[in-house]
Each structure stands twice: as structure tokens, then as C-alpha cells.
């Protein structure tokens, strides 16, 4: 009776729970790396304290503009790298998720497969 209820859970609620939790883990990786926020602020200045307007001569304004441009380029490169790493981590976890979902129904059969292979050898 317990074996039947275990198998009933394994191929029913257990499988659904596995799929739901794995989806939450992939979403958690994307949240951990803040992929959405990084993409939204891709060209924002990177760690620039004073990004406001500058008063002074044309050379001072040009220097401030180039500083801001350089800061934005550095910010874009750093953010793109983090987005890339986050997406690669999410893709790797998604592949592991698909494998786990495919292998899940086979796990209860592994003792039978082991016995069969053990008898053949």
C-alpha cells in the first residue's frame, strides 16, 4: 500500500512539484544576477559620483562629457558581462532542469535495471 502511494505521488504531485521548483530556481538565477535591471540600465554611468551639468569653459565641459561617455562605456561592458554570465547560468540550470524532468520517471526503475544488469554480468 505504501509503495503504491509513493509511486502515485512520484508520478503525480512529485513530478509537478519538481517542475515548479526548477522553474523557480531558473527565475531565481535571473533575479540573482539582476538581468532585467542590468538590461534596463545598460548605458547608465558606471559608479560616477558627479554626473550632473558642469559649469566652466568649453574644454572643461568637453572633458566632463568624455568622462561621462567613458563611464557609460565601462558601465555597458560590465553590465553586458554580468548579463552574459547570468544568462549562461540560467541556461545551464535550464538544461539540468530538462534532464532532471526526463530522468525523474526513470528513478524508481533504477533498482530493477541494476538487478537486471547485475544478473547478466
- 67, part of any domain: yes
Is the pLDDT reported for residue 93 higher than 90?
Answer: yes
Tell me the C-alpha distance between 117 and 2, whole Å: 27
Cα distance between residue 71 and residue 63, in whole Å: 12
Asked if the structure places residue 110 within a domain, the reply is yes
Q: Is position 49 within any domain? A: no
In a domain, 22, yes or no: yes
* CB burial of residue 65 (10 Å; 0-12, 13-18, 19+): exposed
| Reported confidence tier of residue 56, pLDDT bands at 50, 70, 90 | confident
Q: Is residue 108 part of a domain?
A: yes
Range of 26's domain?
2-44+54-120
Q: Using an 8 Å Cβ cutoff, are 26 and 20 in contact?
A: no
Share of the chain above pLDDT 70, in %: 93
- Cell of residue 51, nine digits: 554626473
- Does any domain span residue 86? yes
Interhelix angle for 13-32 vs 58-103, to 10°? 160
Residue 48 binned pLDDT confidence (cut-offs 50, 70, 90): low
Residue 110 has what pLDDT?
87
Domain total of the chain: 1
What pLDDT sits at residue 74?
A: 85
Q: Which tops the pLDDT comparison, 90 or 120?
A: 90
Amino acid at each position: 500500500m505504501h509503495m503504491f502511494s509513493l509511486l502515485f505521488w512520484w508520478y503525480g504531485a512529485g513530478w509537478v512539484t519538481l517542475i515548479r521548483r526548477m522553474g523557480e530556481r531558473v527565475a531565481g538565477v535571473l533575479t540573482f544576477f539582476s538581468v532585467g535591471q542590468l538590461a534596463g540600465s545598460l548605458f547608465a554611468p558606471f559608479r560616477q559620483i558627479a554626473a550632473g551639468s558642469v559649469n566652466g569653459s568649453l574644454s572643461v565641459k568637453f572633458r566632463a562629457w568624455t568622462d561621462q561617455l567613458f563611464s557609460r562605456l565601462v558601465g555597458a561592458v560590465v553590465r553586458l558581462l554580468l548579463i552574459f554570465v547570468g544568462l549562461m547560468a540560467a541556461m545551464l540550470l535550464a538544461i539540468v532542469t530538462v534532464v532532471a524532468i526526463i530522468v525523474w520517471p526513470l528513478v524508481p526503475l533504477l533498482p530493477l535495471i541494476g538487478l537486471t544488469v547485475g544478473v547478466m554480468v
